């Protein structure tokens, strides 16, 4: 099993938990929340402090999932017009 596969096993989805959103296994913390925090510049240490049940590998799992999605899906990001 690759490192990526091990990381992705830390992600779960259950229609009865968090409205079926992807979560970190054993938590009600959405993968998208962790990715949003990272995108906003929140560092790992702060995320781990704010969500004490998380482990560094959980953050890595969210990033790995985001990378998988980027390979599989197209997100339309339109260039803004600059003057």
Q: In the chain, where are the structural domains located?
A: 3-71
Convert the pLDDT of each residue in 6-52 to its tens digit: 999 999 999 999 998 999 999 999 999 999 999 999 999 999 999 99
- Integer angstrom CA distances of residue 56 from 48, 50, 77: 7, 13, 30
Helix, strand or coil, per DSSP, at residue 25: coil
Place of tokens 């704010």: 50
**According to the CATH classification, is domain 3-71 in 3.90.79.10?**
no
Helices (H), 1-83: 3-8, 31-39, 44-50, 56-72
Convert the pLDDT of each residue in 70-81 to its tens digit: 887 655 655 544
pTM over 0.85: no
């Amino acid at each position: 099993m690759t490192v990526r596969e091990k990381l992705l096993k830390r992600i779960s989805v259950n229609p009865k938990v968090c409205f079926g959103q992807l979560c970190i296994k054993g938590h009600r913390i959405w993968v998208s929340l962790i990715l949003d925090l990272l995108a906003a510049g929140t560092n790992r240490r702060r995320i781990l402090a704010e969500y004490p049940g998380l482990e560094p590998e959980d953050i890595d799992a969210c990033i790995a999932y985001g990378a998988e999605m980027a390979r599989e899906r197209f997100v339309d990001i339109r260039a803004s017009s600059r003057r």
